[in-house]
């Protein structure tokens, strides 16, 4: 769900945090009595809010009548959820065996230098988030990385600036 899809609930194309919390409260009301629905509520909440800060986790835990530890446990277990604001583009560098051996770590090091962030962080301008992945399924064309849903194969550190310039 995004603001475009629900224009009637948005003001000037951008929702306030209060409006987002109201929408999340409605989601909680719709799902709280459904067994096993916490992960779905977290997914929808992250889609609405953009990430899952502690304050929102507490709000969800209270609304779902679930211990905060259970909410936080699901969030920290899954790579999908984020407790920090995310960038407009997510860069995932493969660190599986083939990619690591063929230079995956060098890609991570160079990206950290170029973007001035560490793995798991988001650039100050919120343009990029940097992550590592265990396997992107391109072992024969290692090292590989993805930006959003685009897979880049046989990436060298020298190509990174040109690749990033597309975004």
CA atoms of 134 and 64, how far apart (whole Å): 33
Q: Domain-by-domain residue ranges, the chain? A: 3-77, 89-165
pTM metric for this prediction:
0.65
CA atoms of 10 and 123, how far apart (whole Å): 27
Share of the chain above pLDDT 70, in %: 92
Q: Which neighbouring-strand residues pair with 132? A: 93
CA atoms of 144 and 137, how far apart (whole Å): 9
Indicate whether 54 pLDDT > 70: yes
Topology, domain 89-165: Glutaredoxin (3.40.30)
In this structure, what are the phi and psi dihedrals at residue 14, rounded to the nearest 5 degrees? -140, 130
Q: How confident is the model at residue 11 (pLDDT cuts 50, 70, 90)?
A: very low
CA atoms of 72 and 7, how far apart (whole Å): 31
Tokens 């230079």 -> residue: 103
CB 94 within 8 A of CB 133: yes
What's the confidence (pLDDT) of residue 12?
44
Q: Tell me the per-residue pLDDT of 73-100, one tens digit each, with 9 for 90 and over.
A: 999 998 789 898 889 999 999 999 999 9
Q: Residues 102-124: what's their mean pLDDT?
A: 96
Indicate whether 1 pLDDT > 50: no
CA atoms of 72 and 48, how far apart (whole Å): 18
């Amino acid at each position: 769900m995004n603001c475009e899809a629900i224009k009637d609930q948005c003001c000037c194309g951008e929702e306030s945090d209060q409006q987002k919390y109201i929408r999340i409260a409605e989601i909680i009301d719709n799902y709280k009595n459904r067994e096993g629905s916490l992960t779905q509520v977290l997914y929808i909440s992250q889609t609405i809010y953009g990430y899952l800060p502690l304050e929102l986790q507490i709000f969800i835990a209270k609304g779902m009548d679930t211990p905060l530890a259970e909410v936080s446990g699901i969030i920290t277990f899954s790579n999908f959820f984020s407790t920090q604001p995310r960038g407009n583009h997510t860069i995932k560098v493969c660190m599986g065996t083939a990619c690591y051996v063929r230079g995956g770590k060098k890609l991570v090091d160079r990206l950290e230098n170029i973007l001035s962030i560490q793995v798991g962080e988001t650039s100050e301008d919120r343009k990029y988030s940097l992550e590592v992945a265990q396997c992107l399924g391109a072992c024969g064309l290692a090292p590989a990385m993805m930006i959003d849903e685009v897979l880049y194969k046989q990436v060298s550190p020298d190509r990174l600036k040109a690749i990033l310039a597309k975004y």
